[in-house]
Every structure is written in C-alpha cells, then in structure tokens.
Structure 1
C-alpha cells in the first residue's frame, strides 16, 4: 500500500509539472464521460461533430482500464487510452481542449493554455454541488466536498446549459463565474433533428424491435440504492406484473425496459420476450426516438424526453419512502407533465388510457408549461456550436492579435 501511495504521489506531481512546464499540443482534444466510462453523452456528440469537421485533429478518449477492451470493441475507429495511465499522462496535461461531462480529481492542475469545456450531463432534479446541505460520502465531509467542487468549477472555461432553469442552478451550485454556453445539450440534437425524419426513425425501430408496428412503451426508472444486495450483486424487482402489462398491450405493442446496467441481468422477462425487451446497451436517444410513451419516476430523463412533445406517465411506487428526497428536489414534482400513480392498479389503468387514447389530454397545459421551461434552448445545433467555439479558440491561440495603434 505504501508503494502504491508513493507511485500515486509521483504521478500527480509529474502531471502537474507537465501542465506547468509544457506548451499545449495544437488540435489535441481529450474527451471523457462520467469519469472514464464508455464514450457517451454530450462529449460523444461533440466528438462526432468535431471528427466530421476536422478529421485531421487528434481526438483522444480517456476510459477506465477495466472498460478499455469493451470501449475499443464498440468504437474501433476511436483513439482510446486508459485513464490515469502513462499514455493519459502524455495527453491530458498538454491537450488544447478538454471536453468532459463530469468532474476531474481536485489534485489535477490544468495547463493555462488548455480550454476546458464542461458539458455536464443533465438538467438537475436532485440537489448538487454546494447546494447539498449534508454530504455523506466515504473519505470526505460536507466542507471538503464543497471545496473540491468549487476548485473544479474554477477550472471550467465554458459550461453548457440546456435551459435557463439549469443555468441558474449551475451558477449557484457550482459557484461558476466563467462563461455559459446557452446552446442546449449536444446529445439532444438528435431528438430535435431525427424526430422529423421518418426514414431514420424506421431504421432505428427496425434495429431495436424488428417488425413490430404498434405502440412502443419505454420504462426508464431511476437508480435506487436498495438494488444493492452485496458486493458485485444487484437486483431490480419490477413494480408491476409483466403479465398484467402485456395483457393491456395490443399484439404489436412493445414494452422496452431501460434499467441500470448493473441490474439488467436480474430482470426476468421469460415468457414475454415477444413483447418485452430489456435494452441496456442501446443509445438512450434511440429509445426515446422510437417510443410513444415514457414511463418514469424521479429520473431526469423526463427533461430530455419532453423535447419530443410525447406523453409521459409517472409511476413513483415508493413515493412515501422518497418524500424526504423530493422535498430536496429543485423541481416541484407536482408539476410533472403527466399522470402520477403510486400503485399497480392505477398504473395499469393509466397505461390502458394511453393505449386507447394515445395521449393524456388533461395534462396538455402542464406539458406546454414544462416544455417552455426546459426545452426552448434545444435547437438541434448544440454540437455544431461547440465545434465553432473550439475552432474560434484554436484560431485565437494560433494568431497573435495586435491592438490597432
């Protein structure tokens, strides 16, 4: 353990020394998502737009070592390196740009010439950053957590905001004082653009559910701590009977369950495979695009799905248990744009109402207000605008500007 700590300290000092002493490497961009998980979310869509515009730029993904083989299998065209490796050490401190959607370690020093674009990863539902009144995490306390958060946010040169609601919260919760990019989210460009493309939708639908022509219902609940059984073992019990739900569906309708990847294998759909699919590897945007109804609970997926202006059903079956958390939400849960049901009987009834009517007319006004608050910045051009910003930053660094005399 002592040797491991020594190696870690040497690595940190070497990283920061390189960041201080070395110039940035032109057109080198480091991408990361969720602290080194798979290439995904907003950074992935910025990557795709930048790769298309500038195939000559050197774009590098940092991924956790244990995910490296799978990441390279999924994205063979990408340059992917292990996070916190020697390779990463020679890229991260001298990259011209960082494009990330989560925090970096507090000890890490940014090169003064590196431009750090923080995309973040969603409209906030639960409290975050310095707005969290009490932090209970191993190895830290509330004061230290807040200090680490503000240390990180001061490194961000730009922060993407998906809407004014998020911008106001980010400014306070992150103690952020640099420049916001009021672009909407790059990951949502597809929801704006492909939702209008019948051929694209048909191709996605064919890939995921085959030749089914009925309605597609997407169930995407939030992660719950009680999914944990013991180290390495997680289990999710569906809060409804699959037989009752399938009985309510038409023969060509499909229920897609989108669980957290840790519990995917614990979901038993035996006997219902013809109309029920568990989709954990598919892009969540693809599932949004082909779905006619979203069923969720406290998940922030509601904000992205609202871009499509399609109905939502809210099934917080453990509402009483979460009342304390809900009081800590930024958003008033009473304003969700769809029916709220808390037991299986009402859930199946609300599902049957949608299947017969295709909508929830009584919630039209709530949906309009919800979309006005959360989706008006989504124009389908966020990725392009981030690339344009990066081009401008690169040109600004390359050309010495002289003031007119």
Structure 2
C-alpha cells in the first residue's frame, strides 16, 4: 500500500511539473541564454564543460548557466560559475526561456522542449558497449527492453544536433538512438585539452592541486558500471575484483593508483590500509585532468580508452567478466581481444605482467594496432573541436 501511494504521489508531481513547464514555455525567449548540464546535473565536466569554457573565452555575448543538483553546488560557487539548482523555480524559468540546451545525457522524460529552444546533445563517449536499440536484453532495474528503447527514442526526437567524435560513432548513434537530424561530426570538445594542455607545467600543477607525489608513476583505473549489478533502480554497485594487497606489494614503490568509477556506481569503497597507494577520485569532476597526469590506463568496457588513446600512452583492459558482459549483460560492438590497442587480461597476476611488459618494452608490442586504432577513432581530435561546434551551431543559428 505504501509503495502504491508513493508511486501515485510521484506521478502527480511529474504531471504538475510537466504542466508548469509547458505554461512557462510561453514566456519570452532569452536568445543569449545557454543552459548547460553534465551527467544529469552531477558534474562540471565532459563536452558541455569544454563548450562552455570556449564560449566564455571567445563569445561573452552568450550567457551560460549550469543546471546542477543542489548537493554539487560548492564547486560552482568556488569557481564563480553561474548555476541554478535542478527543479527549483528559477530552473524551470531558465530552462523554459533558454535558446539552447547543451547536455551529455538525457533530460527528464516529462520535460517538453519549447519550440524556441535548440537542443544540443553532446553524448559522452565513443561506444564500445552496445546502445539502446542495439542492446538485445536490457538488465537495468525497473524497465524492459520496450520501455527503455521507446523512452530513449522519444527523447532523441527532441535533439536538434548530436555531436559525434568520428564516423564510426555517427553510424551507431543514428541507428541506436534513432536520430535523423543533424550530426556534428567534428571530434569531441572534451578532448581538446589533450592537445592544448599536455605539457609538464600543467601536469605538475594538477598533481600539486590533488596533493599527489611527483616521484611516482600514476595508474588510472577507470572501469564502467554493470547493468545487472544494482541495489535498486538507479543505484548500482561495483566490486573492484582485483587484489590490492598484491598490487601494493609489487607496485607500491614506483606507482600509485587513481580510482575513477562511473557516475552510476553507488558504492563507497573502504580503502583503509591503502593510503598513499590508492586514491579514490570517483567524485573528481574532470576525468580529463586525471588522463593527463596518468602514465597508464586500466579500464574494461568503458569508453574512456577512446579518449585516452589521444595521448598514445599504455592501456590495459582488465576484463575479468568478458564472456558474460560481451554476451548476456550488454554486448560489444567489436571484438575487444582482437582490436583493443593493448593487452586484455582477466586476473591480477596477468595485470601485473602486462604492466611489467610495458615497463620493459613500452608500446612496441602494440604499436601497429594502436596506430590503426588512433586513425579510426581519434583522427578528428586536434584541439579545435569546441571551436568547430560553436561556429557550426551557435554562430550558425545566430545568422
């Protein structure tokens, strides 16, 4: 009975919010207002951040405001970045009047895009794991294949522009998202930093900001989430599945590990006993800075390796559940063991061996495969993607 009442209350609130937003959409358009959002208001990061910062520097005639969740306001206050709290009255008015929305994830399903608003969907990665229509079986709690795909396709109808990092992604996005409007295939704005800030002074400044030792090499471990591992709808869990004791014993003198988990993962890891060796930066807002200071990336099925490949540094794929993930759980777009630009391993021992091989031989064993990978997925990234997006969309729409 309690669950039923809660469900009814939530539905009433959604309908009221929807109605209020439709009414507010009749307010006069603010032609210079751009509403930015990253990962449903949880971060100041990714493609929206890169586009925002380019606009602030080069086109101050626009007013960029961030849509955020209230609990994440401290960073925006510290950096004096304009924001409104999600679902506040000011948020409703700002979203309803804005000329542009720029986000890397979906908007709430009840929100109706005003006729005067241009919706720029940047998305958040080159796809390895299958997306939307291409997923054979959805394992996310609280939904079915039909409702998930239909809900996503209803959302994608609102997108006026979709940013793509390469032709491979464009082909998948069109089909999986059922997107038929304008694809902006210009590289990823968030990757500009690899070409504009990849220097020793900037890298040192980031290490100092984070309080990291400068005399040790850095391993970034950035795995994705598992659709079928969850506490309840919207709250996912994740197990490290690696022997930190063994890693500390073998690598502790020369390396530190930075842990960066997907924003969907709800666990708080107890890293007691690993102080000075493992640092949890899952809440760190901009993973691109972590890429730049890292000597080596360990990941699995996350799209992070497509971005990291711009740096041409070692990548190891720690895929202890490859068979189940690539088969039943999600499905992959290509054969990771054949096409990955680095070793694919399944145990901590194999992980240590791969690190040792990189220490001794660098990228030599994977150089040819890495170059092919770079030419297929990173060829558009050169430090000017943000500029190309702004000129194509914002300046083009203004004409």
Same fold (TM over 0.5): yes
The change in CA–CA distance for 1:164 and 1:326 in structure 2 (over 3 A counts) is farther
Contact 2:42 2:72 in 1 (8 A): no
The residue number in structure 1 matching 2:23 is: 17
Mark the runs of 5 or more structure 1 residues left unpaired by the alignment.
397-405
Deviations along 1:321-361, one digit per CA (max 9) or x if unpaired, are 3241488211221211111121222222222222333x242
> Helix, strand or coil for the counterpart of 1:123?
coil
Residues 1:84 and 2:87 aligned together: yes
The residue number in structure 2 matching 1:254 is: 256
> Helix, strand or coil for the counterpart of 2:202?
helix
Deviation at 1:233, TM superposition (A): 9.2
Deviations along 1:152-209, one digit per CA (max 9) or x if unpaired, are 22221111001111000011111111111111111111022222x2221222233335
Q: Among residues 322, 340, 345, which one is paired with 1:336 in the alignment?
A: 340
What aligned pairs does 1:246-325 form with structure 2 within 5 A after superposition?
246-249=248-251, 251-260=253-262, 262=265, 265-270=268-273, 272-282=274-284, 283-325=286-328
The residue number in structure 1 matching 2:226 is: 224
The change in CA–CA distance for 1:47 and 1:242 in structure 2 (over 3 A counts) is same
Contact 1:123 1:166 in 2 (8 A): yes
Deviations along 1:257-284, one digit per CA (max 9) or x if unpaired, are 22346566424251x4333322223321
Contact 1:27 1:394 in 2 (8 A): no
Deviation at 1:391, TM superposition (A): 4.0
Contact 1:30 1:59 in 2 (8 A): yes
Contact 1:72 1:80 in 2 (8 A): yes
Deviation at 1:211, TM superposition (A): 4.1
Deviation at 1:231, TM superposition (A): 9.7
Residues 1:198 and 2:187 aligned together: no
What aligned pairs does 1:117-136 form with structure 2 within 5 A after superposition?
117-136=120-139
Mapped partners of 2:312, 2:387: distance in 1: 23
Contact 1:22 1:94 in 2 (8 A): yes
The change in CA–CA distance for 1:42 and 1:3 in structure 2 (over 3 A counts) is same
Mapped partners of 2:178, 2:393: distance in 1: 24
Deviations along 1:17-75, one digit per CA (max 9) or x if unpaired, are 333x344212011111122222221111111111222335322211234x2544544x5
The residue number in structure 1 matching 2:169 is: 166
Contact 2:39 2:104 in 1 (8 A): yes
Residues 1:345 and 2:354 aligned together: no
Please say which structure displays the higher CA radius of gyration.
1
Q: Among residues 41, 62, 68, which one is paired with 1:63 in the alignment?
A: 68
Mapped partners of 2:174, 2:138: distance in 1: 20
The change in CA–CA distance for 1:68 and 1:267 in structure 2 (over 3 A counts) is closer
Contact 1:212 1:254 in 2 (8 A): no
The residue number in structure 1 matching 2:31 is: 26
Mapped partners of 1:235, 1:386: distance in 2: 35
The residue number in structure 1 matching 2:104 is: 101
Greater displacement, 340-349 / 25-34: 340-349
Contact 1:98 1:114 in 2 (8 A): yes
Deviation at 1:86, TM superposition (A): 1.6
Contact 2:141 2:234 in 1 (8 A): no
Mapped partners of 1:346, 1:113: distance in 2: 55
The residue number in structure 1 matching 2:42 is: 37
- TM-score w.r.t. structure 2 length? 0.87
Mapped partners of 1:140, 1:339: distance in 2: 35
Contact 2:84 2:91 in 1 (8 A): yes
Mapped partners of 1:68, 1:202: distance in 2: 26
> Helix, strand or coil for the counterpart of 2:344?
coil
